[in-house]
A and B are shown apart, each in its own frame.
Chain A
């Protein structure tokens, strides 16, 4: 299963593109930012998190770095 961890990389694309229509608004303000801007920033943080998870799951990252 862990071989397919990279499929998770689609999640940020869903967040920024597919879910965009629900985020295209000013209210509510979060962390001082209009909602649209907050939403995109949130996905930058989540992208990083998704990549971290994929990296940990990815079996090719185990063992020595250099072959």
Chain B
């Protein structure tokens, strides 16, 4: 047993302990389980929102993209930053409605906003297909991090299994509280690790940040700006705008919004969160350093650049700390994802079947759904498969199809009713899925368009069609169903 392994195990044990202990002294009911009775203060909401961002992606993907795709990686902090800017306008509206109507999940929000159970079901289903790939990626990432940083002592399969078990235990016991407690530990650790590595490695190997980039400029200058085709500027702009709108619609981020105890807690967080995004920069520094220090990682192996470079540079005990931090960056987001997915399904489907179910039944069903979701994701993470990779790329494309219905829902308007919302969403989702399977580009339909248009993110195109269809159908069906939710408008006027 090496020292790295011991430290990883200690971290896992602490996470499990904190996760279980988090529910002590709490009377557990469905509201407490799902959204902490909407009583979380500014700091915890901050850490939970940040926690959804600093996932294994920061560790593996952030550095991995910088390593293999260069400047294209900048899209990550850019869209997250814009999501926070946008959140100042968008999130208080959602929170206010949720507070007033006692909403605890995203499907329920849409259901009550449009007064349509069918829409709730559609949203619950889309949330689930967007979520599962996310959870799988985290479990896989966890497997890679723990396996690499234990110097291969633990297999990725074993590591994913342990991770899945820990999450299942503490989510079923503590719900969102377990995630909140672990989010504190996780952010302290990742902050330390990523900033330290991001500064130490460039200075150790290159003598500074500027010399690092000058070295890159010599061997691979194209990594430092956007390409003229492919990962071009139009790709970057369309992607960051699309993802900025989609960010808070991911079921897990949506759930975190609902935990806030006041509107102002959310607004205050919006101010500081963009600064926190800058942390991802340090992961980029590591990825760029790896271009020169550990060249030759092909394709998906680029995601290993951070770990390989760390192992090449440091003693095992420090590798263990990196591994432990990596473990937490998977556990916290996964726990919020399975929880929000489970509560979403419960409110979307179960309460339809059993409208008079008691609080205890709803809580029990949610816990069973937690197990169902994590087992599904776990199975996918083992058998893998290409379909999943496709879904993951499309997660944002899928979830952003809910944006038009949500934003129109803020206002009392004749341009969007239940029928329009559902047809629009289904159309948009179909385009995104069809694209995922066939990977068509706009140039296949319109052969002569310039690359500046061809590179536009397909999700963006889908959302445009979505809006057209939704507004068209709404206007045509208004006689059947003028929006049955006049309770929205007066709240948003203030």
Known A36-B225, A44-B277, A61-B267: A66·B262 in contact at CB below 8 Å:
yes
Chain B interfacial residues counted at CB < 8 A: 41
Q: Mark A25-62, 1 if CB is under 8 A from B, else 0.
A: 11001011110110011011101101110110010110
CB-defined contacts of A29 to chain B, threshold 8 Å = 210, 213-214
A34, B275: Cα distance in complex, Å: 19
Can you pick out 16 interface pairs between chain A and chain B where the beta carbons lie within 8 Å of each other? A6-B88, A26-B217, A26-B221, A26-B225, A32-B213, A34-B224, A37-B224, A37-B281, A40-B78, A44-B81, A45-B275, A48-B274, A51-B88, A51-B270, A65-B264, A66-B262
Known A17-B241, A32-B209, A34-B213: A41·B281 in contact at CB below 8 Å:
yes
Binding site for A on B (CB under 8 A): 71, 74, 77-78, 81-82, 84-86, 88-89, 208-210, 213-214, 217, 221, 224-226, 233, 236-237, 240-241, 262-264, 267-268, 270-272, 274-275, 277-278, 281, 284, 494
A53, B268: Cα distance in complex, Å: 11
Whether B89 pairs with A6 at a CB distance below 8 angstroms is yes
Whether B281 pairs with A9 at a CB distance below 8 angstroms is no
Whether B85 pairs with A47 at a CB distance below 8 angstroms is yes
Q: How far is the CB of A2 from chain B (nearest CB, A)?
A: 13
CB-defined contacts of A65 to chain B, threshold 8 Å = 262, 264
Q: How far is the CB of B218 from chain A (nearest CB, A)?
A: 11
Whether B74 pairs with A40 at a CB distance below 8 angstroms is yes
CB-defined contacts of A25 to chain B, threshold 8 Å = 225
Q: Which residue of B lies closest to A51 (CB)?
A: B271
Whether A32 pairs with B82 at a CB distance below 8 angstroms is no
A47, B78: Cα distance in complex, Å: 11
CB-defined contacts of B88 to chain A, threshold 8 Å = 6, 9, 51, 54-55
CB-defined contacts of B275 to chain A, threshold 8 Å = 44-45, 48
Whether A47 pairs with B233 at a CB distance below 8 angstroms is no
- With most chain B CB atoms within 10 A of its CB, the pick from A32, A51, A58, A60 is A51
Contact with B233, one of A24, A31, A44 (Cβ below 8 angstroms): A24
Whether B213 pairs with A36 at a CB distance below 8 angstroms is no
A60, B95: Cα distance in complex, Å: 15
New contact pairs (20) apart from A6-B89, A34-B224, A36-B224, CB-CB < 8 Å: A6-B88, A9-B85, A12-B81, A16-B237, A17-B240, A20-B237, A26-B221, A29-B210, A32-B213, A33-B210, A33-B213, A34-B225, A44-B278, A45-B275, A47-B82, A47-B274, A60-B494, A61-B264, A65-B262, A66-B262
Q: Which residue of A lies closest to B210 (CB)?
A: A32
Contact with B208, one of A16, A17, A24, A32 (Cβ below 8 angstroms): A32
Q: How far is the CB of A52 from chain B (nearest CB, A)?
A: 5
Binding site for B on A (CB under 8 A): 6, 9, 12-13, 16-17, 20-21, 24-26, 29, 31-34, 36-37, 40-41, 43-45, 47-48, 50-52, 54-55, 58, 60-61, 65-66
A32, B281: Cα distance in complex, Å: 12
CB-defined contacts of A52 to chain B, threshold 8 Å = 271
Q: How far is the CB of A39 from chain B (nearest CB, A)?
A: 10
CB-defined contacts of A40 to chain B, threshold 8 Å = 74, 77-78
Whether A41 pairs with B278 at a CB distance below 8 angstroms is yes
Q: How far is the CB of B194 from chain A (nearest CB, A)?
A: 15
Contact with B226, one of A17, A24, A31, A55 (Cβ below 8 angstroms): A24
CB-defined contacts of B84 to chain A, threshold 8 Å = 47, 51
- With most chain A CB atoms within 10 A of its CB, the pick from B82, B86, B208, B214 is B82
CB-defined contacts of B241 to chain A, threshold 8 Å = 13, 17
Q: How far is the CB of B135 from chain A (nearest CB, A)?
A: 28
A61, B230: Cα distance in complex, Å: 44
Q: Which residue of A lies closest to B271 (CB)?
A: A51
A52, B275: Cα distance in complex, Å: 12
CB-defined contacts of B209 to chain A, threshold 8 Å = 31-33
A32, B270: Cα distance in complex, Å: 28
Q: Which residue of A lies closest to B268 (CB)?
A: A55
Q: Which residue of A lies closest to B80 (CB)?
A: A44
Q: How far is the CB of B292 from chain A (nearest CB, A)?
A: 15
A37, B233: Cα distance in complex, Å: 14
Q: How far is the CB of A51 from chain B (nearest CB, A)?
A: 4
CB-defined contacts of B263 to chain A, threshold 8 Å = 60
Contact with B225, one of A6, A24, A31 (Cβ below 8 angstroms): A24
Whether B85 pairs with A50 at a CB distance below 8 angstroms is yes
Whether A43 pairs with B494 at a CB distance below 8 angstroms is no
Q: How far is the CB of A11 from chain B (nearest CB, A)?
A: 9
Q: Which residue of A lies closest to B73 (CB)?
A: A37
Listed from nearest, the 10 A-B pairs whose CB atoms lie closest are A32-B209, A32-B210, A47-B274, A51-B271, A48-B274, A17-B237, A34-B224, A44-B81, A12-B85, A44-B274
Known A32-B209, A41-B281, A47-B274: A13·B82 in contact at CB below 8 Å:
yes
Whether A47 pairs with B71 at a CB distance below 8 angstroms is no
CB-defined contacts of A9 to chain B, threshold 8 Å = 85-86, 88-89
A36, B223: Cα distance in complex, Å: 11
CB-defined contacts of A32 to chain B, threshold 8 Å = 208-210, 213
Known A17-B241, A29-B210, A47-B81: A36·B494 in contact at CB below 8 Å:
no
